[in-house]
Amino acid sequence: MGLERITFDANVMGGKPCIRGLRVTVGTIVGLIAAGKSFAEILKAYPYLEEQDLREALSYAAWRVEEIELPLAAA
């Protein structure tokens, strides 16, 4: 899928998907975009992020929404 910028580390933000190991979660980025913030506004607020980080956050979120979770069968 090519999501090299999305990282998981139990010691960073409780293991939530983050951007490049930084303390910025995919959820934070998607929430800001959903609230109407532009890429330019987000990048100004988080100057250590890059536009590709935002695009990968959206790609990851879209992939997760499409993922099918099957219920576990009762034993």
Q: Is the pLDDT of residue 74 over 90?
A: no
Confidence at residue 31, expressed as pLDDT on a 0 to 100 scale: 97
* Cβ–Cβ under 8 Å, residues 16 and 26: yes
SS3 59: helix
**Number of residues assigned to the chain:** 75
Query: pTM for the complete prediction?
Result: 0.83
Residues 2-13 have pLDDT tens digits of 789 999 999 999
Residues 13-51 have pLDDT tens digits of 999 999 999 999 999 999 999 999 999 999 999 999 999
* Cβ–Cβ under 8 Å, residues 26 and 17: yes
- Domains along the chain with CATH numbers: 6-64 (1.10.10.10)
